[in-house]
Amino acid sequence: MVAAALMTWQFSRPAKNLSPPPPEAISPTASSEGIELGKRELLPQPEPAVVPASQNNLSKDALVVLTLAKLREWEDDDEPALRSQRLQELDALLNGTNMLEIVQELPPDLMGYVFALPSLRQQLMADPEAALDWMSCHTNVSGPQLLTLIHDWGEKDQQGMRQYFSGLPEGEWKQAVMATASNESLSSGPAEAIALAMQMNPGQQQAGMLAMAATEWAKRDPEAVEQWLNQVNDPVLREQLAGSLAIGYAELDPGQAMDWALQSLPPGQVLDQSLAEIAWTWAMRDPATAGTWVVQFPEGQARQMALESLVNVWGNHDPTAALDWIESLPEGPLQTEAATDLLAAVPTAELSAP
């Protein structure tokens, strides 16, 4: 699945830095380091067009100019149905050349087609260590291209790739490589993603990657994540990751996740946000039961955030049922707060419709 999804990454406009972009939040309360992986469109990879090298006698400069012209034209009319044909045309143009010489002359936002070519990826995989060294010297090679190399290398020789990573000198480039490798492992092996992220320098970027991995891992094995958390020495980081565990745990059992968060997290922002995220997940499945839990919270920030998540989801899926539930609450601050949240989430016309 990941291999097929790389085609989509190639055609997206990459950021100019090498750090992977933060995933989309699943709810309005998700943190900037938080983490839900988005679904990736699957696009087939075409077979490279075979054109004898002798037919391609253009100079490097001429090839760069011609390639740039084609890519700019295609960027202005990025039609998915034409991508396969265009890839074959580009492969024919660059067949028999040193594609890396062409790539290093391209701006970052036009590299997608070239890095989608199977022939270029084969060229990179002929010596992935040299390819990674080459990328480190060319700032126009951005995150999606680095991700392509790491994915292909991991498929070919994961152990060799890990050994090479362990020998990278400390610096900005190593941070970019480890963050990208950790991001690549999130779906297939969150425990491996954690191991890779632990090789990064402590800081916000590492904490974000660890939080993403903890959430993904907790969706499969929350007990294993809890055991790992006991080995995290930094108390602030451990609390943050415990919140991520609770959010992932909610995918398996939101009630148990709510209990675990209340027992394991001290009062404060991490607990409040975790409860709000759990209420969001729970409301997607069983809003009435989630509501029974939320109303038991004492008045305060945790209840306010969890109630807002619940009413937002419920109101957008079934505003009549959400309104009936609110009207069944005892008169007082809780009912008023829930009604205010519902009015903010759902247009009044929908609430008043028969």
Residue 17 confidence (pLDDT)? 40
**CB contact at 8 A, 225 and 212:** no
- For residue 232, is it within any domain? no
Q: How confident is the model at residue 348 (pLDDT cuts 50, 70, 90)?
A: low
Regarding whether 276 and 199 lie in a shared domain, the answer is no
The CA-based dihedral angle spanning residues 335, 341, 344, 349, taken in that order and rounded to the nearest 10 degrees: -40
Regarding whether 167 and 50 lie in a shared domain, the answer is yes
User: What's the whole-number mean pLDDT along residues 83-111?
Assistant: 88
User: What's the whole-number mean pLDDT along residues 176-205?
Assistant: 88
**Separation of alpha carbons 341 and 120, rounded Å:** 53
* Exposure class string for 81-108: b at 16+ Cβ within 10 A, else e: eebeebbbebbebbbebebbebbbbbeb
Lowest mean pLDDT among 17-26, 52-61, 181-190: 17-26
262: nearest Cα among 249, 250, 275, 273: 275
Regarding whether 252 and 189 lie in a shared domain, the answer is no
Q: Comparing 30 with 312, which gets the higher pLDDT? A: 312
Residue 49 confidence (pLDDT)? 39
Regarding whether 118 and 13 lie in a shared domain, the answer is yes
Evaluate if residue 8 carries a pLDDT over 70. no
Residue 186 confidence (pLDDT)? 82
Q: Comparing 25 with 79, which gets the higher pLDDT? A: 79
Regarding whether 121 and 54 lie in a shared domain, the answer is yes
Q: Which residue, 185, 218, 251, sits at the end of a domain?
A: 218
The total number of structural domains in the chain stands at 2
User: pTM for this one?
Assistant: 0.66
Ranges 55-64, 71-80, 155-164, 215-224, most confident: 215-224
Regarding whether 310 and 346 lie in a shared domain, the answer is yes
The pLDDT mean for the chain works out to 82
Evaluate if residue 354 carries a pLDDT over 50. no
**CB contact at 8 A, 29 and 277:** yes
Regarding whether 132 and 27 lie in a shared domain, the answer is yes
- For residue 238, is it within any domain? no
- For residue 236, is it within any domain? no
Regarding whether 213 and 248 lie in a shared domain, the answer is no
Q: Per-residue pLDDT tens for 273-315?
A: 999 999 999 999 999 999 999 999 888 999 999 999 999 999 9
Lowest mean pLDDT among 50-59, 103-112, 281-290: 50-59
**Separation of alpha carbons 222 and 241, rounded Å:** 12
User: What's the whole-number mean pLDDT along residues 31-37?
Assistant: 33
Q: Which residue, 168, 184, 218, sits at the end of a domain?
A: 218
- For residue 231, is it within any domain? no
Residue 350 confidence (pLDDT)? 58
**Separation of alpha carbons 13 and 109, rounded Å:** 5
Ranges 33-42, 75-84, 296-305, most confident: 296-305
Residue 15 confidence (pLDDT)? 37
Write out the residue range of the structural domain in which residue 309 sits: 243-354
User: What's the whole-number mean pLDDT along residues 194-218?
Assistant: 91
Exposed, middle or buried by CB within 10 Å (0-12, 13-18, 19+), for 202? exposed
User: Per residue, what are the HEC states of 292-348?
Assistant: HHHCCCCCCHHHHHHHHHHHHHHHHHCHHHHHHHHHHCCCCHHHHHHHHHHHHHCCH
Regarding whether 272 and 172 lie in a shared domain, the answer is no
User: What's the whole-number mean pLDDT along residues 28-57?
Assistant: 39
